[in-house]
Amino acid sequence: MSARDRRRVLSGEERVLWAAFTKTIAPLEAGAHFDAGDSADEPPSAALRVPAAPIPAPAAERAAPPPLAPLGRRLRQRVARGKEAIDGRLDLHGLTQAQAHSALLHFLRNAQTRQARVVLVITGKGSGKLGGRGDGERGVLRRQVPQWLNLPEFRALVVGFEDAHIAHGGEGALYLRLRRARS
């Protein structure tokens, strides 16, 4: 028995899959032919005329917000000098990362529904000690909050952020500019 005579039999599931695949293939145009020697760059599967059905993008990808931007020199100056009101404050001192994440998300959603424009989030600078040993990283929340703000759930709420003025906490706090709530 030669290798040509020994063909594998497709299972029922494979037959259904093959039938579904072959229904999507359109025949070549009349007179057109594919010669594997003609184009070494193009794979043989390119000869199959598979109609390209548009795949709808998920809603989150369609309306992806633009990248986060700094507040802008004028707005930052106005906030620092007290000429622009800070519409809300959140102090994350003493919270774990999980608690801080959920508190920040809840705070920003509420602030957006109140139509707040600029809020202050106090992360703290960190103690420089991890468990009192002095060998740890400095300011875990200080590092984490900007990373969280790039996550999709926060991107829908925040236009941009910047370090706060020294009068509002300096490196241990952030000004956040919020997006307007869509009606």
Each domain of the chain, given as residue ranges in start order, spans: 12-47, 69-178
Q: What is the pLDDT of residue 63?
A: 61
In this model, does residue 33 exceed pLDDT 80?
Answer: no
Residue 3's pLDDT band (cuts 50, 70, 90): low
Kindly list the strands in the beta sheet with 89-91, ordered across the sheet, starting from the edge strand earlier in the chain: 89-91, 118-122, 173-178, 158-163
Please, which residues bridge with residue 122 across strands? 91, 173
- Separation of alpha carbons 118 and 179, rounded Å: 9
In this model, does residue 154 exceed pLDDT 80?
Answer: yes
pLDDT digits (tens, 9 = 90+) for 87-104: 889 998 888 889 999 999
Nearest to 123 by CA among 166, 94, 151, 158: 94
Region 19-44: what's the mean pLDDT? 66
CA torsion angle 163 164 165 169 (round to 10): -120
**How many CA atoms lie within 13 Å of 133's alpha carbon, on the beta-carbon side?**
5
pLDDT digits (tens, 9 = 90+) for 54-75: 555 555 555 666 667 777 788 8
Nearest to 178 by CA among 155, 144, 152: 155
Model's pTM, two decimal places? 0.57
Fold type of domain 69-178? Ribosomal Protein S8; Chain: A, domain 1 (3.30.1370)
Token pair for 178: 């919020």
Q: What is the pLDDT of residue 135?
A: 46
CB-based contacts of 156, cutoff 8 Å, min separation 6: 65, 179
144, amino acid identity: Q
What are 152-160's contacts with CB under 8 Å, separation 24+? 152/60, 153/105, 154/104, 154/105, 154/108, 155/64, 155/65, 155/68, 156/65, 157/108, 157/109, 157/112, 158/68, 158/108, 159/68, 159/69, 160/68, 160/69, 160/70, 160/71
